[in-house]
Amino acid sequence: MKTILPFLLFSLFLSLSAKRSTYIVHLDKSFMPKIFATHQNWHSSIIDTIKIAAPTTQNCHHPVPKLLYSYDNVLHGFSAVLSKDEFEALKKSPGFLSAYKDRPVEAHTTHTPEFLKLNPASGLWPASGFGEDVIIGVLDSGVWPESASFRDDGLSAIPKKWKGICKPGTDFNSSLCNRKLIGANYFNKGLLASDPSIVLSMNSARDMRGHGTHVASIAAGSPVKGVSYFGYAPGTARGIAPRARIAVYKFSFEEGTVMSDLIAAMDQAVADGVDILSISYGYGFGPLYEDSIAIASFGAMMKGVLVSASAGNNGPEMGTLSNGFPWIVTVASGSTERSFSGTITLGNGLKITGFSLFPVRTTIKDFDLVYNGSLSSCDSSDDLAQVPNKARSITICYSIAQEDLSVSDQMGAISEAKFGGALYVYGDPDVLTSNYFTNPGAVISSKDWKKVVAYAKTSAKPKVSISFQETHFAVKPAPVVSAFSSRGPSLSYLRVAKPDIMAPGELILAAWPSNTSAAVIGVNTFLDSDYRLLSGTSMAAPHISGIAAMLKGVHPDWSPSAIRSAMMTTANPLDNTEKPIKTMDYLRTSMLHLYPWEPDLLIQTVQLIQA
> Alpha-carbon distance 252 to 536, whole Å?
17
> Alpha-carbon distance 378 to 370, whole Å?
12
- Looking at 43, 108, 111, 211, which residue is catalytic? 211
Say if residues 47 and 67 touch (Cβ distance below 8 Å): yes
Residue whose C-alpha is closest to residue 65's, from 79, 75, 76: 79
Q: How far is CA 499 from the centre of its chain?
A: 16
Residue whose C-alpha is closest to residue 222's, from 131, 123, 117: 131
* Cα separation values, 95 from 77, 264, 486, Å: 10, 20, 37
Nearest-10 crossing angle of helices 560-570, 537-554: 110
Say if residues 306 and 329 touch (Cβ distance below 8 Å): yes
Cα angle: 419, vertex 420, 426; to 5 degrees: 90
> Alpha-carbon distance 20 to 194, whole Å?
9
- Looking at 292, 445, 538, 545, which residue is catalytic? 538
Say if residues 505 and 218 touch (Cβ distance below 8 Å): no
Q: Is residue 30 flagged as an active site residue?
A: no
> Alpha-carbon distance 366 to 463, whole Å?
5
Q: Is residue 62 flagged as an active site residue?
A: no
C-beta neighbour count of 165 within 10 angstroms: 15
Contacts of residue 177, defined as CB under 8 A and 6 or more positions apart, other chains included, come to 145, 166, 183, 184
Assign residue 230 a region: left if phi > 0, alpha if psi is -120 to 50, beta otherwise? left
> Alpha-carbon distance 263 to 73, whole Å?
10
DSSP string across 174-237: GGG--SSEEEEEE--HHHHHH-TT---S--SSB-SSSHHHHHHHHHHPPPEEEEEETTEEEEEE
> Alpha-carbon distance 539 to 250, whole Å?
17
Q: How far is CA 462 from the centre of its chain?
A: 42
Q: Is residue 76 flagged as an active site residue?
A: no
Q: What is the DSSP letter of 288?
A: G
> Alpha-carbon distance 57 to 53, whole Å?
10
77-83 and 66-71 beta bridge pairing: antiparallel
Cα angle: 221, vertex 227, 231; to 5 degrees: 140
Which active-site residues does the annotation give? 140, 211, 538
